[in-house]
Structure 1
Amino acid sequence: TVQFNDQFRKSAYVHQYSLDFQHELPGRVVAGVGYIGATSRHLGLGGNDNATLNINQLDPKYLSLGSALLDQLPNPMFGNPVFGAFADRKTITRGQLLRPYPQFGDLLAAQVSGGKAQYHSLVVRLERPIVNGWGGRINYTWSSNQSNIFGELNQFSNNSGSRNRPLNSYDVEAEYAHSITEQPHRLNFALTGELPFGKGKKHLSEPGLARVLFGGWSITGVGYFQSGFPAAIIQSNNNTGLFTRLQRPNLTGKSPVTPGNTDSHYDPSCGCIANWFNTDAWSNAPAYTFGNSPRTETAMRTPFKTQTDVAFQKIEPLGGTRQVMATAPT
């Protein structure tokens, strides 16, 4: 196996475009609606895992030979030390002799600039400055992110190793699917409420111990809710016979979604979420076929993710422009 950087790679480019509308509502609330898009070309197919493309894969036209690809034939490289390990074999498989460069094993090209991506998003937001004791912002984003970059990763789906390879090196366009980093729905919020006690407030505005203890307090809540990532499905055995790095299963037509949530699927024996998807949705692809599953499965995603935090904050004026601020997160 030989790995190298593609000397013919091109410089990537990204075209970004956006459109935004804002309108002030009563109560000093500003509403906004915006669109953001990006078109990317000549990206590295390896993505953030620097995955490679095997340029010495057997041409798919030889799939019709089936098991004949495994036939042992006289080795024309036998006895010639120029061919390294191949020189020690009297016979060699038909498949190896039909490779573009039969004198080599896998030839893995890194940084191949055949990647492309398309991003669309719609953002809806509400914002209000902290006036009369409260304020904050809420925004919701819907997005679609598609690409043929098979070397991407996310925090749930381990797409490294054998998974971050194209199904067919002769057709990287077929890898175009929803990105494994896509999260179509995300809601963010940051809301602050000031307690009505202290200097300039409705209660306890006069100097004294009560104002020091109870004045200047505010509560802030922040968090997000986001949908899961698509899943990458492959089958454990690779029997295409083409020297590919992976094989995907066939779709059966059944839904991959199972009922329940993360709590109902939690397995204490492994400390993990078990049976999250219906394995009957796929079947093993036969030998000398690729399988027809897409690179990513959007009908079944990783679990929804949420995070919320609350913080208490106190500001105590010291005179003039000086003040002391203390924050206690939870």
Structure 2
Amino acid sequence: MKILNWLLSLQERIDAKEISTFAEWRDIFLHSASVWSDPIERAIAGGFLSDRAGYAFAAGYESALTRLVPSLPPERIVSFCVTEEKGGHPAAIRSVLQKAQEEKTWLLNGSKKFATLAPEAGLFLVAASAGTSPDKKNIIRMVLVDRSAPGIGIVPMADLPFVPEIPHGALTFQDVPVHEQDILPDDGYVAYIKPFRTIEDLHVQAAVMGFIFRVACAYRWPQSIKELVISLLVCMHALAGEDPRAPWVHIALGGLNRHVSSLYESAAPYWDRSDDATRMRWNRDKPLLAVAEKSRARRLEKAWLHY
């Protein structure tokens, strides 16, 4: 596996320079990590090239979006915009996509909140209602909207108490023109929103593992820790190519997540070997690892009921 050979070959060549801004990290990620065409390998490389968990998260998030929509331009930062005032369930989505007078053109109106990386994104992947089905359910479509399109408003949100390097934003769309070729095929919820939860979990975890491997190399953690990281990355790499909607994938992820938690526990004493800034950031950012814990547990429970 080339990505693992790459990681292992760089153990003694860790760039210790601090990445002080998101723009600096973005340039590193887009230039260096993007040479990996497989999204999971891009996530791993991006995590390894990051000097903190926040940037590793961004690497995993962007790589997950590429896995979800392979046609996304690799040179753009993308924000996945689903959540609104009443949540991200299809019934809660009030943003609307309506036919315009011009041929093959639609108009997007509505708002989104808590959109990850929105203040830095050049492209938005937006969930909107294109009407209702005969049973009165929202028909959700995903549309690609360029940041430069007229009618877009972006308001940065306050930093979170963890991973403050990762900005979030609220967006408004007022008669934003959308061309027909920018409306993604298939049902927006089934084909994109629902599977992204699993894809994001897997790619973010892989990126954080890449970051952990970097720290383990830089601060001379035991070889046994690095071996555990490599073995977990092999599992993540294998699962990343499977259907994220398959129940067995969620069951396998349940076991994998327990091994990841065990690794964090085993590695905890070795953070004292790192410099103060690296250790402080990790302790600050650890809550990120538990953000989707309840959702993962529900998906795992549902997966077991399938059999």
Q: TM-score, normalised by structure 1?
A: 0.22
Q: Which has the higher helix share?
A: 2
Q: Which one has more relative contact order, counting CA pairs under 8 Å at least 6 apart?
A: 2
Q: Which structure has the larger Rg over C-alpha atoms? A: 1
